[in-house]
Amino acid sequence: MWAAAGVALVAAPWIVAAAVPGQQRYVLHILIFTGLYGALALSYDLVVGQVGSLSLAHPAFFGIGAYTAALLATEARWPFPAGLLAAVGLAGAAAFLVGFPAFRLAEHSFAIGTLGFAIVTQLVANNWVEFTKGPLCVTGIPRPEFPLPFGLTFRITVLPHFYWASLATLGLTALLYRRMTTFRLGRALNAVRENEPLAAAAGINPLKYRLLAFGVGAALAGGVGAVYAHYISVLCPGELTIGLTVNLLVMLFLGGVGSLRGVLIGAVLFTALPEVLRLAPTWRLVIYGLLLLVIVIRAPEGLDAMLRRAPGSGRRRLAA
Amino acid sequence: MPCSAARRAAGGAAWPRDPGHPGTRRSAGEKRVALFEVRGLTKRFLGVTAVDGVDLALEPGELVSLIGPNGSGKTTLFNCVTGYLTVDGGRVLFRGRDVTGAPPHRVARLGIGRTFQLVSVFPRLSVLENLLVFLQQHQEEDLMGRLLRTRRLRRLEAAAVDRARSLLDLVGLAGQADVPAGTLSYGQRKLLAFAATLMPDPDLVLLDEPAAAVNPTMINQMKDRILELHRRGKTILLVEHNMDVVMDISQRIVVLDHGQKIAEGPPEAIRRDPRVIEAYFGR
């Protein structure tokens, strides 16, 4: 069952080509976006779902990664792997710098503090024209190239390659997410989320674990940003608006915050759904909005929790 | 030093086996050394002095109760000595080492376990996980090891699970090991919090109203468990309002009123002390 799903995921480019010959590029594009959004949502969930800090700075880290990779590739001609590493490192480092003062703030102030950082980052991207090109956007970001031994290079050029790159990004992120959220590390993170004073009584340093989740989440977001920049090849400041936070929050909370499956369900649904709704262009946003409302009312803890409850809905009262 | 308790615990003993506990080893003529000492502790909230120059010393293996009317500063004192509140004066010493102002997680790792007055568990973690959380920091401090899950870590984990299961047996929650702690009843959560505090085998246990708001049967169970703990050589400081419990089990009682220590002594003496009667009932 899982193996079949895996094979289908890897073979998706061919399946898509066979199923919708005319629309192949469009469908693959959506799938690539789904993969990248899934990875981004998972990295965000490390902070919001696992350690329970409502950070609104995630687009900033995504943007720092994207701009780092884009500028290094266009201005300094760095090869993709080096740019990717720089993006991951810089986004992670920025998170530690922001996190140290920000985590001194209590819950809501923390959200506002990180929101401030997100806005500042976007303003810098928009206005530091000499460096980021501002609203003119960074253009001509090359296709990712991997230098191989013997002077060879592997170049990602066609859409299916990008799809696999996106799938690999998602896979690696999911793997790291699982490592972070299970066993001892996951228990420590969740303990801090559930009850910070009690976690401290258990010998857990809450600040350390919050910073860890924040830093790793940001570093992953930076990596996703780098892949994203190389994929779309044009990077504009508009990519890092608060709108991205809203999208990610919708994926997290309607999918199932704090659960790998829930976040992935959210990412798939809310990347694909707006596209499917293009069938009814006039009513698209109305239907989207109504669906959000229905889900919030019917499944306030997220779709994942609803699915888990489905077999024996009699237990519902007890669990509450 | 901080790990001594942890290493013992990592061995997987069911109930703290007190291997050579100082409390049991002490001979009659030997000079008694305080395990835990508070000197002139002072805490002010704006204009109110909640704890006012309190001195307190616990010898290894002692069971001491801290009592006093509401608002006399008992819980504030607890929070000060465990790092949850900053102190405005005085010193806290544990094994002769100054721990004044140390953050809560460091105090915990030195071997001071505490419970909270308002029952405190991790509601969405399972009962078993609630206990495991309490031991893991004492066993392992290496983040990379945690990410890579070394064999050593797996062994520690197995030992921790064993220990957690035997503690659950002890407090009668073995059947609920895998349910979320938030679904337990109030009394059960209290027992769970008690068991969790014992996970890392702390040398000093601070219990904040263990018998408050639980039914009489549970109170007796709690009393038995505290006495059992005491018999095994643990040093215990107890804040409690239930006078039957306090008078029954304490070796020594310290009375606070308006942040000041007004009396100290064995239960019989405290019961008759006019200052104590005055503090509780007025003149």
* Rounded distance between C-alpha atoms, residue A207 and residue A51, angstroms: 10
Q: What pLDDT is attached to residue B5?
A: 44
CB nearest A198 (choices: B109, B120, B138): B120
Q: How far is A216 from chain B (nearest CA, A)?
A: 12
Q: Say if the Cβ atoms of A201 and B197 lie within 8 Å.
A: yes
A172 lies within 8 A of chain B by CB:
no
- Residues B36-55: pLDDT tens digits? 898 888 898 988 888 888 89
**Does A228 score more than 50 pLDDT?**
yes
A38 lies within 8 A of chain B by CB:
no
- Residues A80-99: pLDDT tens digits? 889 999 999 999 999 999 98
Task: Write the CB contacts of B97 (distance below 8 Å, at least 6 apart in sequence).
Answer: B110
Q: Which of A196, A198, A318 to mutate to test the interface with B (most CBs of B within 10 A)?
A: A198
Higher pLDDT, A209 or B29: A209
Segment A228-251 shows an average pLDDT of 87
Residue B205's SS3 state is: strand
Higher pLDDT, A222 or A130: A222
- Residues B136-161: pLDDT tens digits? 777 765 666 666 667 777 888 888 89
Query: Rounded to 5 degrees, what angle do the CA atoms A174, A180, A183 make?
Result: 120
Q: How many helices and strands (H and E) does chain B possess?
A: 12, 10
**Does A135 score more than 60 pLDDT?**
yes
Q: What pLDDT is attached to residue B34?
A: 83
Q: What pLDDT is attached to residue B144?
A: 63
Q: How far apart are the first and last CA of chain B?
A: 49
Question: In B, which residues are within 8 Å of A319 by CB distance?
Answer: 183
Quote the tokens at residue A258: 């704090």
Query: For residue B126, what is the DSSP state?
Result: B
**Type of residue numbered B38:** V
Q: How far is B110 from chain A (nearest CA, A)?
A: 9
Residue A155's SS3 state is: strand
Question: In B, which residues are within 8 Å of A180 by CB distance?
Answer: 147
Strands B204-208 and B112-114: parallel
Q: Which of B99, B122, B142, B197 to mutate to test the interface with A (most CBs of A within 10 A)?
A: B122
Q: Which secondary-structure segment (H or E) carries A183?
A: helix A183-194
> So what's the ipTM on this one?
0.81
* Rounded distance between C-alpha atoms, residue A214 and residue A170, angstroms: 18
Strands B48-58 and B36-45: antiparallel
Give the global pTM: 0.84
Quote the tokens at residue B128: 């078993």
Q: How far is B210 from chain A (nearest CA, A)?
A: 16
Quote the tokens at residue B80: 């000060």
Q: How far is CA A56 from CA A264, A310, B69, in A?
A: 20, 32, 46
The distance of Cα B255 from the centroid of its chain, to the nearest Å, equals 18
- Of the candidate ranges A42-46, A186-190, A215-219, B23-27, the one whose mean pLDDT is the lowest: B23-27
CB nearest A191 (choices: B82, B108, B133): B133
Question: In B, which residues are within 8 Å of A50 by CB distance?
Answer: none
Higher pLDDT, A22 or B23: A22
Strands B204-208 and B235-239: parallel
Q: Which of B78, B79, B105 to mutate to test the interface with A (most CBs of A within 10 A)?
A: B105
Segment B179-200 shows an average pLDDT of 89
